[in-house]
Structure 1
Amino acid sequence: MDLRIMVEPQQGATYDQQLAMAQVAEAEGFEGFFRSDHWLKIPGLSETALNPGPTDSWVTLGALARETSRLRLGTLVCSVTFRLPGPLAVAVAQVDQMSGGRVELGLGAGWYGDEHVAYGIPFPALADRFDLLEEQLEVITGLWHCPPDSQYTFEGRHYGVVGSPALPKPLQVNGPPIIMGGFGEVRTPRLAARYAAEFNVPFAPIEVFVAQRERVRAACEAAERDPDSMRFSAALTVCCGEDDEDVARRAGNIGRSVEELRENHLAGRPAEVLDRIANYAEAGADRIYLQVLDFDDLDHLRLLGEQVLRLLP
């Protein structure tokens, strides 16, 4: 079981706060540091400060690439409405080079309409966003995999790429792994089976994780892909403490109740968190993204490293 740290900077975090968390995560031995890709605070997620506002995912990850040495870095997940596929392929490839080949690209159809209104970004209907997603996946992987002495061309309904030199290339030979996720029952599993190295089920009960995992495995089989070649992960909010008082304090700091966190996520003393992680492992999860919502509580990361990560079998 791999453990990665996942953060939500749109809730109110500076670059320096993200850097501090990434460096502590690396020092504690976590496998990766991933961030959401949003432009507007999500109501109800946490009660952290509104300021300083959002930070750009790939600007941030490029900087973190130069300030870390081992962590896998990436997005969970980028929205196809935010960037054109050609420039996104260039940015991700460049950050992959800057990191020494440690980048992964989480990409999805997007869902948060208010942030599009707030920043003047078009927000098509869901079916159209899935069309954008399919074409973006084709363009991005096509640019990365295009032979160095060739040009890449793609003609789709939404995007046209003609005679691209398909540069720069990522450092990772087959390109950065692509992460997809969500709860779609047909199109999402089909696209994941074709393009993704990992499928993530975010913030869902175990029974939902199991059902979606089975759909994706079936889609892999239908596409004549070995379903065991797909990694499966879950993302869950974590709130861990040395004792019940510590757990309650940390839950209060993010405006959440201990009861809700215990029922739906990973909350409690280290032994409780370990038990919950074991349940997901038994359900077929290869990796857990620990969503940490308090950017100022670096001791939380240290506790998770010392009393959860180090005790995993």
Structure 2
Amino acid sequence: MTDYGHDLIFGTFITPMHENAEQVVRAAQHAERAGLDLVTFQDHPYQRRFLETWTLLSYVAARTERVRLAGDVLNLPLRPPAVLAKSVASLDVLSGGRVELGLGAGGFWDAIEAYGGRRLSPGQAVTALGEAIDVIRAIWDVDAREATAIRGEYYRLVGAKRGPAPAHPIEIWLGAYKPRMLRLTGTKADGWLPSIGRMSTDEIRAGNETIDAAAITAGREPRNVRRLANIIGQFGPTSPRLLSGPPEQWVDQLAAMTLEHGFSGYVLAGDNTGDYDRIGREVIPAVRELVAAERDRSLAS
């Protein structure tokens, strides 16, 4: 069993369709009213039917008050990291500290290249992502005295002015599946954000082990890397499938994922605001209560 002890976060993954732009914003507002903690949007700038993600995040930040916001995950090959760092920090300041940074190495290379991005091999993309994280953290580190001097193969930051500083310590979450990306997550990131519908239990366990080993090698504490999961679920009769059943089945399965696999963030893919209400009313409080009770029991034993 692996429980990293993080506070629990529940969110939603809303489809950013441009023909339903106001409906997308209303769904984010509904998620906030329902008691969810996080609203996320995918980032595919080359997808003609989607709203541009950073513009959408900024607009939703202005139309909400409490909920945290993130790209899930932002497309690094089409977003220069130094400017992205300033954008994220600026929106964090303007929103009162409500922004986190989900970041991906890229994957749809034909579409990325069509939009002016550089085609990279999988290994090159991981290297570029690691350099980008260094660039982003350097821009945010306004207290550093030395000049910026990052001379990577893909990204450079030499003598650039730092700032602005974010309003809170922004977490960088990586969408990672393969060993090199998992090692980068353990070495440099604050969180792991896979879609667990694509993963077996053995793959989840191996992912955690790879992240933990990389963190230890880098001199980091593995529990400082939050584990989040994009999830797909539906309410209905009891079934053997994950998150396909009544609320009490969701509660038991999500609590087990926290206590056995270390996940502490759950992001539901879907636009059904009725599900947001059920999750906020019938799932979130019960999962938190069950996890808290088990953690108290473990501390007492």
TM-score, length of structure 1 as denominator length: 0.80
Q: 1:238 aligns with which of 223, 227, 233?
A: 233
CA distance in structure 1 between the partners assigned to 2:8 and 2:17 by the alignment: 26
* Runs of 5+ consecutive residues of structure 2 not aligned to the other structure: 1-6, 290-301
- Within 5 Å, give how 1:137-148 maps onto structure 2: 137-147=133-143
Q: 2:22 aligns with which of 16, 25, 38?
A: 16
Q: Which residue of 2 aligns with 1:85?
A: 81
Q: Which residue of 1 aligns with 2:193?
A: 200
Q: Are positions 1:274 and 2:280 aligned together?
A: no
Match of 1:188, SS state, is helix
Q: Are positions 1:177 and 2:161 aligned together?
A: no
- Within 5 Å, give how 1:144-163 maps onto structure 2: 144-147=140-143, 151-163=147-159
Letter in 2 for 1:17: Q
Q: Is the 8 A contact 1:150 1:165 kept in 2?
A: no
CA deviations on 1:265-284 (whole Å, 9 max, x unpaired) are 42222122222212312323
Deviation at 1:118, TM superposition (A): 5.5
CA distance in structure 2 between the partners assigned to 1:99 and 1:232 by the alignment: 24
Q: Which shifted more, 115-124 or 227-236?
A: 115-124
Letter in 1 for 2:231: L
Q: 2:260 aligns with which of 283, 288, 292?
A: 283
Match of 1:171, SS state, is coil
Q: 1:35 aligns with which of 32, 35, 41?
A: 41
- Within 5 Å, give how 1:117-136 maps onto structure 2: 119-136=115-132
CA distance in structure 2 between the partners assigned to 1:78 and 1:35 by the alignment: 9
Q: Which residue of 1 aligns with 2:10?
A: 4
Q: Is the 8 A contact 1:233 1:287 kept in 2?
A: yes
Q: Is the 8 A contact 1:201 1:209 kept in 2?
A: no
Change in CA separation of 1:118 and 1:161 when aligned onto 2, cut-off 3 Å? closer
The count of residues paired between Structure 1 and Structure 2 equals 280
Letter in 2 for 1:126: P
Match of 1:4, SS state, is strand
Deviation at 1:151, TM superposition (A): 4.2
Q: Which residue of 1 aligns with 2:96?
A: 100
Q: Which shifted more, 282-291 or 272-281?
A: 282-291
Identity %: 26
Deviation at 1:143, TM superposition (A): 1.0
Deviation at 1:108, TM superposition (A): 1.8
Change in CA separation of 1:223 and 1:149 when aligned onto 2, cut-off 3 Å? closer
Change in CA separation of 1:218 and 1:287 when aligned onto 2, cut-off 3 Å? same
Deviation at 1:123, TM superposition (A): 2.7
Q: Are positions 1:298 and 2:292 aligned together?
A: no
CA distance in structure 2 between the partners assigned to 1:30 and 1:10 by the alignment: 18
Match of 1:103, SS state, is coil
Q: Which residue of 2 aligns with 1:251?
A: none
Q: Is the 8 A contact 1:194 1:223 kept in 2?
A: yes
Letter in 2 for 1:227: P
Change in CA separation of 1:139 and 1:215 when aligned onto 2, cut-off 3 Å? same
CA deviations on 1:144-170 (whole Å, 9 max, x unpaired) are 114277642322222222321123221
Match of 1:182, SS state, is coil
Match of 1:221, SS state, is helix
Q: Which residue of 1 aligns with 2:294?
A: none
Letter in 1 for 2:63: E
Change in CA separation of 1:120 and 1:139 when aligned onto 2, cut-off 3 Å? closer
Q: Which shifted more, 30-39 or 144-153?
A: 144-153
CA distance in structure 1 between the partners assigned to 2:244 and 2:227 by the alignment: 21
Q: Is the 8 A contact 2:76 2:103 kept in 1?
A: yes
CA distance in structure 1 between the partners assigned to 2:50 and 2:118 by the alignment: 18
Change in CA separation of 1:114 and 1:16 when aligned onto 2, cut-off 3 Å? farther
Q: Are positions 1:212 and 2:207 aligned together?
A: yes
Letter in 2 for 1:20: R
* Runs of 5+ consecutive residues of structure 1 not aligned to the other structure: 42-51, 245-258
Letter in 1 for 2:43: D
TM-score, length of structure 2 as denominator length: 0.83
Deviation at 1:139, TM superposition (A): 0.5
Q: Is the 8 A contact 1:3 1:31 kept in 2?
A: yes
Q: Which shifted more, 196-205 or 76-85?
A: 196-205
Q: Is the 8 A contact 2:195 2:231 kept in 1?
A: yes
Q: Which shifted more, 88-97 or 198-207?
A: 198-207
Root-mean-square deviation (CA), in Å?
Answer: 2.4
